[in-house]
């Protein structure tokens, strides 16, 4: 009886760590959490600091004086902010939905052992993970052949499918969905689309959450596609708008050709605070979405660790 008890408790002992190691891990995780949280707090403090305080003492956790001028300025520019927010939300929602659908479909197809073009298709997916055609070729294809210049689809299509995400999907479907289930469904007359929709996807919630989170972060934080393909300010996303303001505020302030009224307006606006306030507006929505994915995201992180 004692031997049986020792056998049962042996794995528990092997998985236990010492108190010192536990303390060290806790300290490490606290430091990593602070590295993520402190910059956000710092940005918020700067956004509510007065311009005079920033001008006199620079960026400080404890400013000389507080001011809501930055948020008042953004409120006055509500039309511009809301339009950019609408573009960001549309691009993120549509891009994530289409990206998850296409990525999981590609991963499912590549995971099927009886797919005749599996080797060739896998090579086509794998090659872009090593190198790509470059920015110039992508720009020519997207503007000259697909005519995406100044189109909202220029913010969606270039980021729609990632080879890395396809490999993750392939690995998950290959290692977590038994072949016997697929074969039983085929014997019952189910098509591959039926198997994918009614069997594979319901079993792949951790995978869907992981891919959706990757795509959501990628679309929400992207500003580079706007800098390449968008010149119409009505199509600027929040991130592109922040980048545009940051690059042009000083130029506008130092350009007398704009006229006295415009120069005075630019000089009186809370430059540093407005930038940080816009950054907070960008950070908060994406931070609020993570808890909805967290339930499945942690288990989904181990998908790519399984050799497939």
- Per the CB < 8 A criterion, the answer to whether 247 and 11 are in contact is no
Residue 66, in any domain of the structure:
no
Q: DSSP H helical segments within the chain, as ranges?
A: 2-15, 19-47, 51-57, 69-76, 78-111, 118-130, 135-140, 163-176, 179-187, 192-195, 205-221, 224-229, 238-253, 260-268, 271-300
Burial bucket for residue 217 (CB in 10 Å: 0-12, 13-18, 19+): middle
- Which tokens go with 170? 């392939």
Residue 49, in any domain of the structure:
no
Q: How far apart are CA 301 and CA 198, in angstroms?
A: 23
Residue 193, in any domain of the structure:
yes
Nearest to 269 by CA among 58, 75, 39, 56: 75
Residues in CB range of 51: below 8 A, 6 or more apart: 67, 69, 270, 271, 272, 273
Q: Is the dihedral of CA 261, 262, 267, 268 positive or negative?
A: positive
Residue 41, in any domain of the structure:
no
Q: Residue 118 belongs to a domain with what CATH number?
A: 1.10.3720.10
Q: DSSP class of residue 197? A: I
pTM of the model: 0.76
Residue 276, in any domain of the structure:
yes
| Residue-range definition of the domain harbouring residue 286 | 71-305
From residue 97, how far is each of 69, 117, 165, 215, 270 by CA, in Å?
38, 26, 14, 9, 37
- Per the CB < 8 A criterion, the answer to whether 108 and 173 are in contact is yes
Burial bucket for residue 17 (CB in 10 Å: 0-12, 13-18, 19+): exposed
Contacts by 223-227 with C-beta closer than 8 Å and gap 24+? 225/154, 225/155, 225/158, 225/159, 226/155
Neighbours of 76 (CB within 10 A): 11
Q: How far apart are CA 28 and CA 23, in angstroms?
A: 9
Residues of the chain with pLDDT under 50: 256, 258-262, 304-308
Geometric angle at alpha carbon 279, from 268 and 149, rounded to 5°? 95
Task: Report the number of distinct structural domains present in the chain.
Answer: 1
Residue 246, in any domain of the structure:
yes
Residues in CB range of 149: below 8 A, 6 or more apart: 142, 143, 229, 231
Nearest to 208 by CA among 182, 162, 163, 172: 172
pLDDT at residue 306, rounded to an integer:
45
Residue 35, in any domain of the structure:
no
Is 66 in a helix, a strand, or coil? strand
Residue 249, in any domain of the structure:
yes
């Amino acid at each position: 009886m004692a031997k049986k008890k020792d056998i049962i408790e042996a794995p528990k002992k092997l998985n236990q760590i010492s108190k010192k190691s536990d303390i060290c891990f806790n300290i490490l995780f606290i430091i990593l959490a602070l590295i993520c949280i402190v910059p956000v707090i710092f940005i918020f403090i700067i956004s509510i600091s007065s311009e005079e305080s920033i001008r006199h003492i620079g960026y400080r956790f404890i400013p000389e004086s507080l001011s809501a001028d930055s948020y008042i300025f953004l409120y006055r520019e509500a039309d511009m902010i809301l339009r950019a927010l609408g573009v960001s939300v549309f691009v993120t929602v549509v891009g994530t939905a289409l990206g998850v659908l296409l990525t999981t479909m590609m991963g499912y197809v590549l995971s099927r052992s009886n797919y005749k073009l599996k080797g060739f298709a896998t090579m086509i997916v794998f090659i872009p993970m090593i190198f790509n055609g470059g920015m110039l070729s992508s720009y020519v294809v997207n503007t000259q052949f697909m005519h995406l210049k100044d189109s909202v689809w220029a913010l969606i299509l270039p980021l729609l499918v990632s080879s890395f995400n396809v490999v993750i999907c392939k690995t998950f479907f290959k290692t977590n969905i038994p072949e016997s289930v697929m074969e039983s469904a085929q014997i019952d007359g189910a098509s591959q689309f039926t198997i994918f929709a009614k069997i594979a996807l319901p079993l792949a919630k951790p995978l869907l959450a992981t891919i959706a989170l990757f795509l959501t972060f990628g679309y929400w934080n992207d500003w580079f596609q706007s800098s390449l393909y968008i010149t119409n300010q009505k199509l600027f996303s929040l991130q592109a708008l922040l980048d545009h303001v940051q690059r042009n505020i000083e130029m506008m302030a130092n350009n007398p050709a704009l006229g006295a009224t415009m120069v005075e307006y630019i000089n009186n606006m809370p430059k540093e605070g407005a930038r940080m306030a816009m950054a907070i507006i960008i950070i908060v929505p994406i931070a609020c979405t993570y808890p909805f994915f967290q339930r499945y995201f942690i288990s989904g992180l181990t998908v790519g660790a399984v050799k497939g």
